Amino acid sequence: MKILRKIVSDLKPLSWEEGKRTKFSRETINLLYGENPLPQLDVVKKKIIAELDKMNLYPESMGYNTIDLISEATSFSDKNIVVDNGIDGVLNLLAKTIIDPGDNVIVTPPTFPVYASTTKLMNGIVTEVTLEDDFSLDINKLMKAINEKTKVIYISNPNNPTGNILLTNKQIEFILNNFSGLLVIDECYYGICKETAIDLVNKYDNIIILRSFSKALNLAGLRIGYAVGPKYLISAMKQVLNDCNPFVLNRLSQASSIAIRYQDILSKQFISSKKRFKSKLESINKLKIIDTETSFLLADVSKIDIKASEIISKLSNRGILIKDCSVYGFEDIYLRISIPKKELEDKVITNLREVVDNICKGKLK
Ligand SMILES: Cc1ncc(COP(=O)(O)O)c(C=O)c1O
């Protein structure tokens, strides 16, 4: 008997850097994930430490400690909020809750790949509306791609890996008024980017906003994501959680979620380190640095006519890891670079400059 589901046996072999564990060592500078390099606030650390004595006890079911703090920060009722393990967890939960086999969803590559993977795992069908060369989304193309089976549109706003805002709130309202399915707005970078469509949850029942504690709030290791949406949908998602995964957030995660009270301070700190690192990157004349609304920066390498993947591979030999974004459908001319720790910034810049110079010299020979 074949044990694996067909859809699972068809998955591509592991292509992410996680597969290459041997490359991680103490000295490795990991700039793969758009993490926040700053130290966490003491007030948050203290809350986590205070929880260590209670690890024999199950945490609050459904993450209600965290939900209450999110409710306080967003002014939405707990009935509008659900939490899971990062936005990744929320996306899985959402797909389990709404995707029937054959349902159609729209994604806008190059974009965060989990929208498509979670859909496919539920035997949904993915339609792609590719972004334009300048990374913008043609809303007419998006509307034309909708058919009677389209249940969901996923938008990363701002978008990973292009770093830009794809839709203004006016455009979001236009879609909501002309589409009866669900519009998912992934605001993973909220705090670094100040734009938000969260108020539209009060006005429409076909929008859901996803946010993360991983980026501006600097808690990627504790895996907290949340969704703010209409009560009927949040209640169904909670029902699925209740039946399959009622202790969704562990004690340490729930304790750490106090960080949301300090969102403004944490965001400011991150934005200023990003600004400092960007100006250092700009000193590498051969690269064109593109501003972003996200936790990572982009460097366009096309003016020196070399492939981003060549730079990534040479940097990885020096212990500096940058993500190959081809998995996102991204063209091989962009480097997506996370912000390193302050004390590592110069090392990253020196190595990147040398790698680029060496490749260029090699081409001249
Ligand atoms: C657009 C987008 N959504 C979701 C995620 C995953 O976030 P989390 O760490 O909350 O699972 C990422 C991670 O980088 C992302 O870029």
pLDDT for 19 beyond 70: no
Tens-digit pLDDT profile for residues 237-266:
999 999 999 999 999 999 999 999 999 999
Q: Choose which residue among 112, 157, 296 to substitute to test ligand 1 binding: the one with the highest number of ligand atoms within 8 A of its C-beta.
A: 112
Give, using CA atoms, the residue closest to atom 10 of ligand 1: 86
Note the pLDDT of residue 328: 79
Contacts of 61 (CB under 8 A, 6+ apart): 242, 246, 247
Q: Determine the average pLDDT of the residues in 173-194.
A: 98
Size of the chain, expressed as the number of residues it contains: 365
With a 6 A CB cut-off, is 87 part of the ligand 1 pocket? yes
- For the chain, the structural domain boundaries read 6-39+263-364, 54-262
Joined together, the tokens standing for residue 144 give 């034309």
Q: Determine the average pLDDT of the residues in 116-145.
A: 97
With a 6 A CB cut-off, is 112 part of the ligand 1 pocket? yes
CB burial readout 69-78, b (16+ within 10 A) else e: bbbeebebee
335/139 Cα distance (integer angstroms): 27
Per the rule left: phi > 0, alpha: psi between -120 and 50, beta: everything else, 160 is: beta
102/157 Cα distance (integer angstroms): 26
CA of 357 to the centre of ligand 1 (A): 33
With a 6 A CB cut-off, is 295 part of the ligand 1 pocket? no
Tens-digit pLDDT profile for residues 60-74:
999 999 999 999 999
pLDDT for 13 beyond 90: no
Tens-digit pLDDT profile for residues 77-106:
999 999 999 999 999 999 999 999 999 999
327/340 Cα distance (integer angstroms): 22
238/87 Cα distance (integer angstroms): 15
Q: Determine the average pLDDT of the residues in 154-181.
A: 98
pLDDT for 15 beyond 70: no
Q: Determine the average pLDDT of the residues in 261-279.
A: 97
- Mean of pLDDT over the chain: 94
CA of 257 to the centre of ligand 1 (A): 17
Helix residue spans in the chain (DSSP H) = 6-9, 42-50, 64-74, 86-98, 114-121, 139-145, 169-178, 231-244, 251-256, 263-281, 308-317, 345-364
Q: DSSP secondary-structure letter at 206?
A: S
Note the pLDDT of residue 21: 53
Q: Which fold has domain 54-262?
A: Aspartate Aminotransferase; domain 2 (3.40.640)
- Please give the share of the chain, as a percent, with pLDDT higher than 70: 96
Among the listed residues 84, 95, 107, 109, the one whose alpha carbon sits nearest the alpha carbon of residue 250 = 84
With a 6 A CB cut-off, is 59 part of the ligand 1 pocket? no
CA of 87 to the centre of ligand 1 (A): 6
CA of 187 to the centre of ligand 1 (A): 9
Note the pLDDT of residue 181: 98
Spatial contact of 203 and 227, defined as CB atoms under 8 Å apart: no
* pTM as predicted: 0.96
Q: What is the CATH code of the structural domain delimited by 6-39+263-364?
A: 3.90.1150.10
Note the pLDDT of residue 20: 56
Helix residue spans in 100-178 (DSSP H) = 114-121, 139-145, 169-178
Note the pLDDT of residue 323: 86
Q: Choose which residue among 88, 211, 213 to substitute to test ligand 1 binding: the one with the highest number of ligand atoms within 8 A of its C-beta.
A: 88
Joined together, the tokens standing for residue 117 give 């993977």
Tens-digit pLDDT profile for residues 72-84:
999 999 999 999 9
pLDDT for 41 beyond 90: yes
Tens-digit pLDDT profile for residues 299-325:
999 988 899 999 999 999 999 999 888
Question: What residue type is assigned to position 226 of the chain?
Answer: Y
**pLDDT confidence bin for 329, thresholds 50/70/90:** confident
219/83 Cα distance (integer angstroms): 14
- Please give the share of the chain, as a percent, with pLDDT higher than 90: 90
Please state the atom number of ligand 1 nearest to the C-alpha of residue 88: 11
351 vs 25, more confident = 351
Among the listed residues 140, 157, 247, the one whose alpha carbon sits nearest the alpha carbon of residue 196 = 157
With a 6 A CB cut-off, is 186 part of the ligand 1 pocket? yes
141/116 Cα distance (integer angstroms): 18
Q: Choose which residue among 30, 85, 184, 188 to substitute to test ligand 1 binding: the one with the highest number of ligand atoms within 8 A of its C-beta.
A: 188
Note the pLDDT of residue 14: 61
**pLDDT confidence bin for 353, thresholds 50/70/90:** very high
208 vs 327, more confident = 208
pLDDT for 357 beyond 70: yes
